[in-house]
Amino acid sequence: MSTPNASPQLSPTAAKEAWRLRAFSFSFYTIMAIVVSYFPLYFYDRGFSEQQVGILYSIGPSVSIFANLIMGLASDKYRTIRKILTLLLIGQLLMIVLLLPVHHFALVCLIIGGFYFFQTPLNSLNDSLILLSEPHTGRSYPSIRIFGSIGFSVAALLIGQFLQDSGSGSTMYIALGAIAVTLLLSLLLKDYQGSLRKIEFGGFFKLIRKPQIVVFFLLVLVLSIAHRMNEGFLAIIMRQMGANESMIGTAWMISSASEIPILYLLGKYGHRFKELPLLAFAGGTYALRFWLLSIATAPEWIVLIQAMHSITFGVFFSTALRYLSIIIPDEYRSSGQAIYAVVWTGFAGILAGTVGGFVIEQHGKELFFQAGMTFSLLAAAGFLIKHLRSR
């Protein structure tokens, strides 16, 4: 509910600003599609083992822990998101250029670490910008974020088909083009501000130590481990089962496209439901999804199961951000989003990348997905208990 005082007025160019945010989200999630769907295959096809790919994948989450905090705190301190987005995209371009001629694993690790330093904070900053734009554009978070899902799904499908013909060696050149377009679009964005109150970071650190917030982040961590395991290794598992780039791209397209109706419905009707039961529901459906993946015998089944991304990630991510906006005040929005990103992509990604690669290599996909199912059930139970205790 909005408060009667200090309510920002709708911008006279609200429609134009909203479409620029949508275009940026579309383009930014194109980069995400390349990084998530095709970076693992690029390195795997260059001769790196599953464990080495797992190490490369875990570098991103490791770097994201301090990258997200630095950029989130800088955004709140200097009261700008757009300029930081532009700076991060320039950094990504430079890192990809440096990566192209490198083949030695240690050097690849170093450069990919630099890339992830500039890439991982983008998600939380983009979410912050969209959430802060709502009073000025009159558009809800899901109505903007849905274009990110469209961008991811279109890119996953079309790039997969292109790589099927050209080979995975073209991946980094496609990434360069997507980053360049996103950089240009970032220059058209408007900066939105939260509360004009002076930022006191001592108050922020006291805030995130509250039991209510600590428990929430712990439960997010548990569920995130399962999600990141699937995200980091699904393409490799499908390749080992006989899938080509086109089928892998189709799987990622289905998962991302399935978010679109859920984000629309949550944007229109989500406020009618309490956040914690919805998060418990998402955890339960994640468990079912991973159990089905553990018994899948052909890559075609995995493609179909990816449609469950809608009622797992779609419900979880949108609802978790809504809950976070309730428990974190506006003046700490970017910093709160940064902490969330550290948990969601950082700590969870490190565990998923290092442990996940070992489990697949030593024990196979069945135990791998059963571990994801277990984490999901634990998170679902935790969110449900938290809801019942808060009544």
Q: What is the pLDDT of residues 235-274, one digit of tens each?
A: 888 988 998 888 988 898 898 888 888 888 887 787 788 8
Which residue in the block uniquely carries the two structure tokens 């496609």? 174
DSSP 358-383: HHHHHH-HHHHHHHHHHHHHHHHHHH
Q: What is the mean pLDDT of residues 294-311?
A: 93
Specify the fold of 13-191: Growth Hormone; Chain: A; (1.20.1250)
- What residue ranges of the chain are covered by domains with CATH 1.20.1250.20? 13-191, 203-390
Q: What integer pLDDT is reported at residue 4 of this predicted model?
A: 42
Please check whether the domain covering 203-390 is classified as CATH 1.10.10.10: no
Which residue in the block uniquely carries the two structure tokens 């969601």? 344
Question: Residue 89 is which amino acid?
Answer: L
Which residue in the block uniquely carries the two structure tokens 């390749």? 239
DSSP 292-317: HHHH--SHHHHHHHGGGGIIIIIHHH
Please state, in angstroms and rounded to a whole number, the distance separating the CA atoms of residues 336 and 339: 5
Could you report the per-residue pLDDT of 340-355, keeping only the tens digit for each? 877 877 788 888 877 7
Could you report the per-residue pLDDT of 84-141, keeping only the tens digit for each? 999 999 999 999 999 999 989 999 999 999 999 999 889 888 988 888 888 888 888 7
Please state, in angstroms and rounded to a whole number, the distance separating the CA atoms of residues 312 and 189: 31
